[in-house]
Amino acid sequence: MRPEEGRPDSAHAKATVRARVAGVVARGAKLLAAIRANPRSVRFQDACRVARLLGFVHEGGKGSHRVFKRRGEPLQLNFQDHDGYVPPYQARQLVRMIEKYGSDP
CATH code, domain with 70: 3.30.920.30
Share of the chain above pLDDT 90, in %: 35
pLDDT tens-place string over residues 70-91: 999 999 999 999 999 999 999 9
Q: Residue 2: inside a domain, yes or no?
A: no
Distance of CA 83 to the CA centre of its chain: 20
Q: Residue 3: inside a domain, yes or no?
A: no
Structural domain including 46 reads 8-101
Q: Residue 26: inside a domain, yes or no?
A: yes
Share of the chain above pLDDT 70, in %: 73
Distance of CA 25 to the CA centre of its chain: 9
Q: Residue 95: inside a domain, yes or no?
A: yes
Domain count, the chain: 1
Q: Residue 12: inside a domain, yes or no?
A: yes
- pLDDT of amino acid 1: 45
Q: Is the pTM of this model over 0.95?
A: no
Q: Residue 51: inside a domain, yes or no?
A: yes
The burial of 39, by beta-carbon neighbours within 10 Å (0-12 exposed, 13-18 middle, 19 or more buried), is given as buried
Using 50, 70 and 90 to split pLDDT, how confident is the model at 32? confident
